[in-house]
Amino acid sequence: MAAVVGVVDKAERLPGVKNVIAVGSGKGGVGKSTVAVNMALALSHEGAKVGLLDADIYGPSIPIMLGLQGQKPKFSQDGKVIPLEAHGIKTMSIGFIADETQAVIWRGPMIHKILDEFLSRVEWGALDYLVVDLPPGTGDAQLSLSQLIPLTGAVVVTTPQEVALADVKRAVEMFKKVQIPLIGVVENMRSEIFGSGGGEKAASQWQVAFLGGVSLEANIRKSGDSGIPIVVSDPRSNVSQMFIQAARNLSGVLSQQNTSGSEQPKILKA
């Protein structure tokens, strides 16, 4: 059948990208961006070719976390956008092309348009993983992503407390609604105060992989603010090893899925 001009088929976007992994959560501020950035860098540390897409149109945090504030992407001769690079990974964010005052007035259709551009006009090239940092809340970005590209699946970030179960449930329902399969859970901000275990419980409840736990550490925040995430600034530290372990577990789960012959991680019943 002849292709319709101007309409890109979902399967034709990102032809060189092997896995697209969305990082999301059931509520804001649990460390999605921190986990997305450090896991992307951990996958790269393990030798993979990695891209990081900031799908948070209203509150992009990737430019600061990767030390790329104020930088602008260049265009290739054929009008494609060349992603910026930091610490060995390629990245694209609305923060590179618009200021926050512009972003607040955008609505769902605009978000869809921008994500479409990010996925079809950005020259991502050959990647083992494109990690997508999702915004908190509504589901507009999740819906757009699921319509625009075949996602490998989602990683849900949660916190250790009992409420984690409810938070993960919310995320599972959101991803299920837009048919994004769930790959596994990362428990962030483990500490003496918050404890640990909520993420593991949630993973077992939803029968998905528990990818790992990450402690609450001042150095994680400081390194995120400084533009050199902890996995790069101090890869041997305990917390960096936690991110690296979670990244290894993620690639382990994905390769198991590939060899077991199932095409996609399962979509859960919420």
Query: With contact defined as beta carbons under 8 Å apart, do 83 and 118 qualify?
Result: no
DSSP three-state, residue 206: coil
Listed residue (247, 254, 202) closest to 47, CA to CA: 247
Site string for Mg ion, 23-52 (x = CB under 5 A): ---------xx-------------------
Site string for ligand ATP, 116-155 (x = CB under 6 A): -------------------xx-------------------
28 or 252: CB nearest ligand ATP: 28
Residues 66-125 contacting ligand ATP, CB under 6 A: none
Helix, strand and coil in the chain, % to nearest 5:
40, 20, 40
Nearest distance in Å: CB 134, ligand ATP: 8
Q: What secondary structure letter does DSSP report for 174?
A: H
Nearest distance in Å: CB 61, Mg ion: 5
Regarding 188 and contact with ligand ATP (CB under 6 A), the answer is yes
19 or 34: CB nearest Mg ion: 34
Query: Tell me, what amino acid is at 150?
Result: P
Regarding 52 and contact with ligand ATP (CB under 6 A), the answer is no
Site string for Mg ion, 52-81 (x = CB under 5 A): ---------x--------------------
DSSP three-state, residue 28: coil
Return d(Cα 79, Cα 61) in angstroms, integer: 26
Q: Per DSSP, what are the bridge partners of residue 90?
A: 51, 85
Regarding 189 and contact with ligand ATP (CB under 6 A), the answer is yes
Query: With contact defined as beta carbons under 8 Å apart, do 49 and 128 qualify?
Result: yes
50 or 81: CB nearest ligand ATP: 50
Listed residue (169, 177, 246) closest to 203, CA to CA: 169
Backbone angles phi, psi at 138, to 5 degrees: -30, -40
Nearest distance in Å: CB 207, Mg ion: 27
Site string for ligand ATP, 226-255 (x = CB under 6 A): ------------------------------
Q: Which residues contact 145 (CB under 8 A, 6 or more apart)?
A: 22, 55, 115, 132, 134, 151, 178, 180
61 or 240: CB nearest Mg ion: 61
Token representation of residue 73: 């992407």
Regarding 64 and contact with ligand ATP (CB under 6 A), the answer is no
Return d(Cα 254, Cα 248) in angstroms, integer: 10
Query: With contact defined as beta carbons under 8 Å apart, do 150 and 20 qualify?
Result: yes
| Selected range binding ligand ATP among 14-22, 73-81, 217-225, 248-256, rule: CB under 6 A | 217-225
Nearest distance in Å: CB 84, ligand ATP: 19
Give me the residues that bind ligand ATP (CB under 6 A), please. 25, 28-34, 56, 59, 61, 135-136, 188-189, 214, 216-217, 220-221, 224
Give me the residues that bind Mg ion (CB under 5 A), please. 32-33, 61
